[in-house]
Structure 1
Amino acid sequence: MTSSDRPLPTKDRLIQAAARLFRRYGYNGVGLNDILEAAKAPKGSLYHHFPNGKTDLAIAAATWASDGMLRTMAASFENADSFEAGFATLCHKLAKLFELSGQSDGCPVSGALFDGPENEDFRKTTDHIFEGWISEAEHYAIRFGDNPDDARRKAELLFMLIEGGWTMARAKRSSDVLRHLPEKLAAL
């Protein structure tokens, strides 16, 4: 049996199920029983792994989803010959992900944390995650020759285009919105 044939540990199943469900229905639209059923996990396992229940699980799910975004960014910029080329690849990868989600899923971070209750830990976690995405993009802009101030501005713009583009793509139910984001960056 290879490692890819083994079932995921219960904690990982809970995190991934929660991330999928929060992305689709938002924090308030998902109950603990929904998560347990999707994860095929026994009731006691949730509080064993996440003592504060749904709150801890939402933070873990958003962090897991963020790690996936950072890997996607790295893969997009790794072999790019310019920041713009890396951004174009990232947009195409996100458009494909949007299509695979049924063209209706929200951002897995904001769906888990901003659609939930007013919670300072959620706000801080979201800020930390989004800052990580911006810092990653800033790193690539510097790598392609931008000075630190310009790189920061470009990275923040990339983040705003992606977040806004994803929301607009949901409204239009069209992944083309994401594919055309590089043109918007070039126009600016």
Structure 2
Amino acid sequence: EPRGARGSLEDDALQATLHAAEEIHLDCDETRAIRELLSLPSDKLLSEQLRAAMRLGDGPRQDTLQMQIKDQFFDRSGDMFDMGRFPRLRSAEDYANSKLIGKKELREGFLRHTVKPIPTSLSQLEKPWREDALNTFKCILGFMGDAPYSFPLMLVQELLGLVLTGGSPEALAPIQT
């Protein structure tokens, strides 16, 4: 049983095997290896479990473990993806000043989901790249069905054209989020 538990590295099987071994005072290489595995930091244990699931070809378990690893990563490091920390991000005031009317609504809606085209880029960009950012946003709105476009697949072609011609990384940021 210890070898089976070590093969799959499933938490319940490892714990049950270790508990059963301790009940009969069994101490062998396999139980020491299980004890060592269970003492690993959770992210390391998850990585080992993922390797085992991949070795066994257990697709659903791989998916579950990858989600757990992702969740741990974002729990630990999620704040580094906070848009407010991006140094070239416009202020809400600067964003709102891009239009003559409706400034209050723009200021309050800054960095919030919208289904309307944005008046300027969210980050400070040179004019050509700012236009790319606005076009990127428009294409995403259309492709996602938030804005009515007759041929949404043409919008994807337009987005790919921007990517392949080396558009500004900031202008292409909406594609990544």
Both structures adopt the same fold (TM-score exceeding 0.5): no
Query: Which of the pair has more CA radius of gyration?
Result: 2
Range class of TM-score, shorter chain: under 0.3
The structure in which a higher percent of residues are helix is: 1
* TM-score, structure 1 normalization: 0.24
* TM-score, structure 2 normalization: 0.25
